[in-house]
Amino acid sequence: MEPLNRIQRNLGTIRERYGVARIGIFGSAVRGEATPASDIDVLVEFREGEETFDHFMDLTFYLEDLLGRRGDLVIADTLKPAIQDAVLSEVVYA
């Protein structure tokens, strides 16, 4: 899981710069089904008071640069009930 390894190597920067409490990947990258064209599904929890539009957008762009592909950043608190259990059961945190 190279995307997770890249996030782990940059975890200090991610936490400090963007106010992240926890971050992980889920979806095709975790299941081993990702193709070179796949995006990377990323679940993030921000520290209290750090969940801002700027942090969200800046983190999205940072992760796309870091991972070399498009990312789909999802805030854990905004998961729809219909998919929440599935996402939380497969997320692998950095």
Pair of tokens at residue 75: 């805030």
User: What's the domain range around 51?
Assistant: 2-93
CATH number at residue 12: 3.30.460.10
- Residues classed as catalytic: 39, 41
pTM: 0.94
Residue 52 phi/psi, 5° resolution?
-115, 160
Query: Does the CA dihedral 3-5-8-13 come out positive or negative?
Result: negative
Pair of tokens at residue 77: 């608190």
Query: How many domains does the chain divide into?
Result: 1
Residue-by-residue pLDDT tens, the chain, 94 positions: 799 999 999 999 999 999 999 999 999 999 999 988 999 999 999 999 999 999 999 999 999 999 999 999 999 999 999 999 999 999 999 9
